[in-house]
Amino acid sequence: MKPLLIALALTLAAPMFAHPHPHPDPHQPRDLRDVAKLHRIAIGSAVDIASLHAEKDYRTVLNREFTHVTAENAMKWESVEPERGVYTWADADALVENARRNHQQVRGHTLLWHNQLPAWLTSGVADGSIDAAELREILREHITTQVKRYKGKIRAWDVVNEVVEEDGSLRQSIWLTHLGPGYIADAFRWAHRADPHAKLYINDYNLEWNQPKIETTLSIVKDLKAQRVPIHGVGFQGHLGIQYDYPGDWANVMRRFADLGLEIAVTELDVRMVLPVTPDKLATQADYYRRALADCVSVKACKELTVWGYTDRHSWVPGWFEGEGAACILDENLARKPAYDALLAVPRRR
């Protein structure tokens, strides 16, 4: 009986997240931090700040798995300056401090966007109480204040976010309407002055495949570089769905930007599906995640792959795409899905 008792004791003492294989390959990654080390890129997640504060299991997995984090909403303008001149840094500060304690780098998201602007700003522009000259000064002050606050603590900023329409035209935002296209160069210059060491990115969705958007974004980058504007990277958001073909030319698109001297990052990766979840859908989802990481590691300039939330418990997808969901690499109970294991299986860059 003694051998059986010993075996039982060893079983009960096994760690909660033990490797599922009895004799794991020592060269096979055991978690996402191992994946980051293997490929020499950052592996990150967007962070739901309320969950970071309130959910111990969420916080534990986030800090165990990821080498990079992005504030999902805590650094957006309406969050940090809900009233003019009244700043609320507590949530953004908490994310940055949690990252410091857990040896994670931080992506700042986002300095300039057409959405999630504070009501005092949009209403002031709409009623004419904020004219173009004042709007430009407000934007300069916002970028300078936020970047200076986190100087030396942010690896990369999404300086301008989603500035190109699907047809390849510049987005008709309050920034373009009132400041003209030069606002893009201004934003990069102001951010660089506030923190000369941070990497500065242009970030967009559907840039993986939408040809008009690709060409316009390439033109923006070339124009900025010709003006000696400090732009260092391009972010491909990577919001994919298994009901659509995987963007098979993505790696080549990455290379076109890399050839301009830019860093590459996959900044907001998720892969949604039409519900209900089935084993076949999970297998397709896993293949999309695998291919996204494989595309990134095939391009030397690709420095980061970040998922837009790592658990279906807090995914943004069901709130935006009716009847769709299950877009993340862990389920609602933080259990690994095939997508997680697919990321572990991507071979080293050759």
Active site residues: 268
Q: How many CB atoms lie within 10 A of CB 114?
A: 16
Residues 6+ apart with CB under 8 A from 327: 270, 271, 272, 273, 285, 309, 312, 315, 317
Strand 233-236 relative to strand 239-241, pairing: unpaired
Burial class (CB in 10 A: 0-12, 13-18, 19+), 162: buried
Q: Structure tokens of 97?
A: 């401090």
One-letter amino acid of 330: L
Q: What angle do helix axes 56-65 and 32-39 make, rounded to 10 degrees? A: 20
**Residue pair 200/230 in contact by the 8 Å Cβ criterion:** yes
Query: Residue 51: how many CB atoms within 10 A of its CB?
Result: 18
Q: In sequence order, what are the beta bridge partners of 46?
A: 70
**C-alpha span between 305 and 208 (Å, rounded):** 14
- Give 66-129 as a DSSP string: -SEEEESSTTSHHHH-SBTTB---HHHHHHHHHHHHTT-EEEEEEEE-SSS--HHHHHHHHTTS
Decide: 42 and 68 in contact? Cβ < 8 Å.
yes
Contacts with 178 (C-beta within 8 Å, 6 or more apart), sequence order: 125, 132, 135
Cα gap 163→168, rounded to integer Å: 10
Give the closest residue to 343 by CA, choosing from 290, 284, 297.
290
